[in-house]
């Protein structure tokens, strides 16, 4: 019997994942007017064939203005559904569950792609026009960045409605789950953090007022998303800057999210004053795992750990120590899309080749059988 936790199934509502390895959402910046391109199919095929339990499609804009860059995928239009469905079909053909992260970039919209500097687009630069950003308050992310327009209550309502419409489209495309992007300084997170939200109305002020927009979005998504299907929510568990949100604040939010039908809190961090994933800061392996651990025990909700989880044994230890229920991997998955297969080998599971499709598994199993010595290095 297989003793690993990484390869133990998990049931989230009626969705059963064959293992606990999750591909974290990763923007590709390769879409055209929000539409999926061949690149996305090639990119996702790598993970679909590698045997993960669940994969997320990148942060996908619920409105055109809610994209981070001109290259981000969108779900603001019914025309986007067919491209997204191709990604879904690809994963389903390999018995891999697939989700989509939906979001709105808020004051961090209208940016250049990472390899073009990730800064706000200036007029005429790169032949791509900037667009107006909005946010809970008219506070730029950094000194020198454009000042976003302060959202009116009708902007707020329209954006909540856009999340609901996006949810219906995700359902029509065939996704198994949705993740609400509530992290990394984008719109939802920017309502929650006092650094970016200084409103005096029902959507700003104390912790509970700052939660209102995230909660209204979640309620709108949950109302459309079927009861038997799970819902993820990505938090920036801490802002990591003075005056920002703390892990205790996030635990309060997670309690409210849980009562509104969120099943898994995906625990990231940062992004309030600079892009979280483009940081040059030195970080330790598994640096965000303590957040997943804290939220899991303080709130009694399933969590997903993410961030510099590289070795299979590290992932297994997180699950064995009950610090999280799922492990999300981004960059290491780009480096090695067969990570799950290598994890199965390294953790000495019963039938590691079974992680892969038959047409790969058969030949690797036969090769290993043919080898005189069992060690992969041939020693
Ligand atoms: C190319 C790239 C694109 C990313 N896009 C997203 C995204 O769309 N949504 C999101 O929440 N995080 C995004 N992230 C962050 C990852 O999901 C993940 O949280 C982060 O990279 C840490 O995990 P890792 O150390 O395994 O890479 C992205 C990261 C990378 C490297």
Average the pLDDT over 87-94 and give the result: 98
> 309 C-alpha vs ligand 1 centroid, how far in Å?
12
Domain-located, residue 68 = yes
Q: 356 is written with which tokens?
A: 């892969």
Helices (H), 27-152: 38-48, 81-93
pLDDT of 368 reads 87
DSSP state of 305: E
Which tokens in the block code for residue 91? 């994963």
Q: Whose CA is closest to atom 5 on ligand 1?
A: 26
In 117-161, DSSP assigns E strands to: 134-135, 149-150
Q: Which residue has its alpha carbon closest to ligand 1 atom 18?
A: 330
Within 226-330, where are the H helices?
247-259, 289-299, 312-320
H or E, element range at 362: helix 358-370
Q: Is the pLDDT of residue 1 over 60?
A: no
The number of distinct structural domains making up the chain is 1
Task: Look at residue 279 and tell me if it is in a domain.
Answer: yes
Residues having CB within 6 Å of any atom of ligand 1: 24-27, 58-59, 101, 181, 183-184, 234, 268, 277, 306-309, 329-332
- Expressed in angstroms and rounded, the spacing between residue 293 Cα and the centre of ligand 1 is 20
Q: Compute the distance between CA of residue 111 and CA of residue 281 in angstroms, rounded to an integer.
A: 21
Q: How crowded is residue 33: how many other Cβ atoms within 10 Å of its Cβ? A: 12
pLDDT band at 379 (very low <50, low <70, confident <90, very high): very low
**Within 13 A of 296's CA, how many CA atoms are on the CB side?**
20
Q: Compute, in angstroms, the gap from residue 72 CA to the centroid of ligand 1.
A: 14
Mean pLDDT of 177-203: 98
Average pLDDT over residues 351-360: 94
Say if CB 1 and CB 35 are below 8 A apart.
no
List the domain range (segments joined by +) for residue 315.
10-348
Kindly state whether residue 181 falls inside one of the protein's structural domains. yes
Residues 311/323, Cβ–Cβ less than 8 Å: no
Look at residues 103, 83, 95, 10 and name the one whose alpha carbon lies nearest to residue 43.
83
Closest CA to 321 of 309, 330, 331: 309
Q: Which of 196, 18, 166 is nearest to 96 (CA)?
A: 18
Whether 368 is covered by a domain: the verdict is no
Give the pLDDT confidence score for residue 378 in this predicted structure.
Answer: 47
Listed residue (241, 249, 230, 333) closest to 291, CA to CA: 249
Q: Where are the alpha helices (DSSP H) in 49-116?
A: 81-93
Atom of ligand 1 nearest to the CA of 308: 25
Task: Inform me whether the pLDDT recorded for 219 exceeds 80.
Answer: yes
CATH of the domain at 84: 3.20.20.70
- Note the pLDDT tens digit of each residue in 128-159: 899 999 999 999 999 989 999 999 999 999 99
How confident is the model over 66-82, as pLDDT tens digits? Answer: 999 999 999 999 999 99
Which of the pair, 224 or 370, is modelled with greater confidence? 224
Q: Which two tokens stand for residue 159?
A: 């954006």
Position in ligand 1 atom list of the atom nearest CA 234? 11
Q: Whose CA is nearest to atom 31 of ligand 1?
A: 331
* DSSP element (H, E) containing 231: strand 231-236
Is residue 359 assigned to a domain?
Answer: no
- Contacts of residue 94, defined as CB under 8 A and 6 or more positions apart, other chains included, come to 48, 49, 51, 357
Query: What residue's CA is closest to ligand 1, atom 21?
Result: 330
DSSP state of 148: P
pLDDT score of 48: 98
| Residue 370 within any structural domain of the chain | no
Return the percentage of the chain with pLDDT > 70, whole number: 96
Q: 365 in a domain, yes or no?
A: no
Taking the CB of residue 248, how many other CB atoms lie within 10 A of it? 11
For residue 161, give the H/E element and its range.
helix 153-173
Q: What integer is the mean pLDDT of 268-289?
A: 85
Report the C-alpha gap between 102 and 60 in whole angstroms: 5
Catalytic residues: 186
Average of per-residue pLDDT values in the chain: 95
- How high is the pLDDT of residue 376? 57
How far apart are alpha carbons 134 and 132 in whole angstroms? 7
> Is the Cβ–Cβ distance between 128 and 80 less than 8 Å?
no
- Least confident segment among 47-51, 94-98, 365-369: 365-369
Tell me, yes or no, whether 236 lies in a domain: yes
Those residues with Cβ within 8 angstroms of residue 326's Cβ, 6 or more apart along the chain or in another chain = 10, 17, 20, 22, 53, 54, 264, 302, 303, 304, 305
**CA 330 to ligand 1 center in whole angstroms:** 6
pLDDT above 70: residue 83: yes
Neighbours of 202 (CB within 10 A): 12
Joined together, the tokens standing for residue 148 give: 């976003």
Provide long-range contacts, Cβ within 8 A and 24+ apart, for 368-376. 376/345
Instruction: Answer whether 0.85 is exceeded by the pTM.
Output: yes
> Rounded distance, CA 130 to CA 139, Å?
18
Query: Is residue 53 over pLDDT 70?
Result: yes
């Amino acid at each position: 019997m297989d003793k690993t936790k990484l390869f133990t199934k998990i049931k989230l509502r009626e969705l059963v994942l064959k293992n606990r390895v999750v591909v974290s959402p990763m923007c590709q910046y390769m879409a055209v007017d929000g539409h999926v391109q061949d690149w996305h199919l090639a990119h996702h095929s790598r993970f679909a064939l590698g045997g993960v339990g669940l994969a997320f499609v990148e942060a996908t804009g619920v409105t055109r203005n809610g994209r981070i860059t001109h290259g981000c995928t969108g779900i603001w239009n019914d025309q986007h559904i067919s491209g997204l469905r191709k990604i879904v079909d690809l994963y389903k053909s390999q018995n891999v569950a697939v989700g989509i992260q939906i979001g709105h970039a808020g004051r961090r919209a209208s940016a250049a792609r990472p390899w073009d500097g990730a800064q706000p687009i200036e007029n005429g630069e790169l032949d791509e026009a900037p667009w107006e950003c909005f946010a809970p308050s008219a506070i730029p992310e950094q000194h020198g960045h454009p000042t976003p327009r302060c959202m009116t209550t009708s902007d707020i309502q329209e954006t909540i409605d856009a999340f609901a419409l996006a949810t219906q489209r995700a359902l029509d495309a065939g996704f198994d789950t949705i993740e609400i992007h509530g992290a990394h300084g984008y719109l939802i997170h920017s309502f929650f953090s006092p650094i970016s939200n200084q409103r005096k109305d029902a959507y700003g002020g104390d912790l509970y007022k700052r939660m209102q927009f995230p909660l209204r979005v979640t309620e709108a998504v949950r109302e459309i998303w079927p009861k038997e299907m799970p819902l993820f929510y990505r938090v920036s568990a801490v802002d990591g800057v003075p005056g920002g949100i703390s892990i205790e604040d996030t635990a309060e939010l997670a309690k409210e999210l849980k009562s509104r039908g969120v099943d898994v809190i995906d625990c990231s961090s940062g992004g309030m004053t600079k892009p979280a994933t483009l940081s040059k800061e030195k970080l330790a392996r598994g640096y965000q795992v303590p957040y997943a651990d804290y939220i899991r025990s303080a709130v009694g909700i399933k969590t997903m750990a993410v961030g510099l989880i590289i070795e299979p044994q590290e992932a297994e230890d997180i699950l064995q120590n009950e610090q999280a229920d799922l492990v999300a991997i981004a960059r290491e998955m780009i480096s090695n899309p067969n990570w799950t297969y290598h994890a199965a080998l390294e953790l000495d599971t019963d039938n590691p080749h079974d992680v892969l499709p038959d047409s790969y598994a058969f030949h690797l199993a036969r090769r290993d059988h043919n080898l005189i010595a069992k060690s992969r290095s041939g020693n």
